[in-house]
Structure 1
Amino acid sequence: MVKKLSIIIPAYNEGNTIHFILDKVKSVQLIGGLEKEIIIVNDCSKDHTEEAIKSYITQNPDLNIQYYKHEINKGKGAALHTGISKAKGELVIIQDADLEYDPEEYNLLLKPILDGFADVVFGSRFMGGNAHRILFFWHSIGNNILTFVSNMFTNLNLSDMETCYKMFKTELIQKISLKENRFGFEPEVTAKIARIPNVRIYEVGISYYGRTYAEGKKIGWRDGFRALYCIVKYGLLKNS
């Protein structure tokens, strides 16, 4: 029986926005009466992220927040590895510390799992009628190419492999050996989840409130090439 959702938030230099996303996570009412476990992993931020997190925890003692810190910067993927290993809920979802994704939409991803249809749910920015900020043409082309190539290796028909919003049954994701420490996490976890026998993967449309680089967006073209490398690597090398 599902009782708790573990929400993993990797944070790097998000001192100015971390309290906004935590307020949103706090306010969302999960369907099925699920409890929330918030796991924040500070990946050795250079700004006031730690102070902001500790202040928020002090001001919200009723909220179940688990805080972990890397002593050296390891990358988003490494922060997710730490968070996944600490999760106590029956389900896990990934939540970026910025404001690009709306926690109110957790319930969209929860429904196929709670209804007994899915083991894993991806939140797609490219399907459905929800709000999407118009930003970079070449980023969208890059996302489409990466998803297309990933689908070739996994034999899935995802529309958005690179999405942040991925929800897993905890028992599945904790059994996977994950190695990518940066943005290669997305293609790696997709490839390895797809290889689980009889796994049921669903996709639902979500909103997307993207940031510009001036607003703090971190992913760049080098990460795109790394993602392509990871798609091929984990698609071809089944034991990697």
Structure 2
Amino acid sequence: MYVRKLSIVIPAYNEGNTIHRILNKVKTVQLINDIQKEVIIVNDCSSDHTEEAILDYQKQNPEFIIHYYKHEVNKGKGAALHTGIQKATGEYLIIQDADLEYDPTEYNLLLRPVVEGHADVVYGSRFQGGKPHRILFFFHTMGNRFLTFISNMFTNMNLSDMETCYKLFRTEIIQKIKLQENRFGFEPEVTAKISRVPNIRVYEVGISYYGRTYEEGKKISWKDGFRALYCILKYNIFCKKPW
């Protein structure tokens, strides 16, 4: 019997204190249409106890299959995503951060437009819908909206949250795209390249956002914002082929 799968790619760097909690959430979520889960963790050479936490979780939950990979040197979130994307075998693929900012119980919100045949890619927007949204940094929000606005100008899309973690793809599409950015430039790069796939259908749904402070482990900085702007220009003006 043919079984469809959702590949859940989790890049992890120094998330030893939270990785077990996000895995518990992923483990318990029930997907629509009997879709199965394929969990792929890529440890980007963490310097804390992330690896020990993952291996311990595997021992305590042998029925929950986790495909675990590790980079021997730290390469960045984008590089971890490249590894996870290439290892995926499911029909659909979603990105899940190893922290607790995004809620796996909302996978079905992103799956539904694809499963019902309307979409090829679905972005989860933190700025749409009546979902819970932690109130944090004003300048981060303005920065995200500015980067999304500039990205939309070049891609001719009307996304409200280009920088969101939750992006769900038909796996065959994302695996064909030649990705280069090793850090947080992944978001504007993949958005630029997705927008140029012939006849691509991109949807957006509202999601919750349980943001973290820097004291709680948030890693992105203002430098990554400048890199994102550079990537918007680079991949929309100078690198126009998706693959």
Normalised-by-shorter TM-score class: over 0.9
* TM-score, with length taken from structure 1: 0.99
Is the counterpart of residue 205 in structure 1 residue 203 in structure 2?
no
1:68-107 matches, cutoff 5 A: 68-107=69-108
- What is the CA distance between 1:2 and its match in structure 2? 6.8
Which residue does the alignment assign to 2:38? Answer: 37
Say which SS state the counterpart of residue 89 (structure 2) adopts.
coil
Which residue does the alignment assign to 1:222? Answer: 223
Distance between the aligned counterparts of 1:53 and 1:128, measured in 2? 34
CA RMSD in angstroms, aligned pairs only: 0.9
Q: Which amino acid letter does the alignment assign opposite residue 141 of structure 2?
A: S
Distance between the aligned counterparts of 1:212 and 1:201, measured in 2? 30
Distance between the aligned counterparts of 2:72 and 2:45, measured in 1? 6
Contact 2:196 2:241 in 1 (8 A): no
- What is the CA distance between 1:63 and its match in structure 2? 1.2
Distance between the aligned counterparts of 1:113 and 1:2, measured in 2? 16
Distance between the aligned counterparts of 2:64 and 2:233, measured in 1? 41
Contact 2:193 2:241 in 1 (8 A): no
Contact 1:2 1:90 in 2 (8 A): no
Structure 1 portions without partners, runs of 5+: none
User: Which aligned segments of 4 or more residues in structure 1 are displaced greater than 3 angstroms?
Assistant: none
Contact 1:2 1:91 in 2 (8 A): no
1:147-226 matches, cutoff 5 A: 147-226=148-227
- What is the CA distance between 1:61 and its match in structure 2? 1.2
Q: Which amino acid letter does the alignment assign opposite residue 203 of structure 2?
A: Y
Say which SS state the counterpart of residue 204 (structure 2) adopts.
strand
Q: Which amino acid letter does the alignment assign opposite residue 143 of structure 1?
A: N
Counterparts in 2 of 1:239 and 1:200: CA distance versus 1, 3 Å: closer
Which residue does the alignment assign to 1:125? Answer: 126
Contact 2:3 2:36 in 1 (8 A): no
Say which SS state the counterpart of residue 163 (structure 2) adopts.
coil
Distance between the aligned counterparts of 2:3 and 2:203, measured in 1? 18
Q: Which amino acid letter does the alignment assign opposite residue 14 of structure 1?
A: E
Q: Which amino acid letter does the alignment assign opposite residue 52 of structure 1?
A: A
Say which SS state the counterpart of residue 56 (structure 1) adopts.
helix
- What is the CA distance between 1:119 and its match in structure 2? 0.3
Contact 2:10 2:42 in 1 (8 A): yes
Contact 1:8 1:80 in 2 (8 A): yes
Distance between the aligned counterparts of 1:208 and 1:102, measured in 2? 8
Distance between the aligned counterparts of 1:10 and 1:235, measured in 2? 26
Which residue does the alignment assign to 1:234? Answer: 235
Distance between the aligned counterparts of 1:226 and 1:2, measured in 2? 40
Contact 2:78 2:184 in 1 (8 A): yes
Structure 2 portions without partners, runs of 5+: none
Distance between the aligned counterparts of 2:206 and 2:163, measured in 1? 14
Deviates more, 1:230-239 or 1:96-105: 230-239
1:15-34 matches, cutoff 5 A: 15-34=16-35
Contact 2:121 2:168 in 1 (8 A): yes
Q: Which amino acid letter does the alignment assign opposite residue 233 of structure 1?
A: K
Counterparts in 2 of 1:239 and 1:197: CA distance versus 1, 3 Å: closer
How many equivalent pairs are there?
240
Distance between the aligned counterparts of 2:3 and 2:193, measured in 1? 23
- What is the CA distance between 1:64 and its match in structure 2? 2.0
- What is the CA distance between 1:135 and its match in structure 2? 0.2
- What is the CA distance between 1:58 and its match in structure 2? 1.2
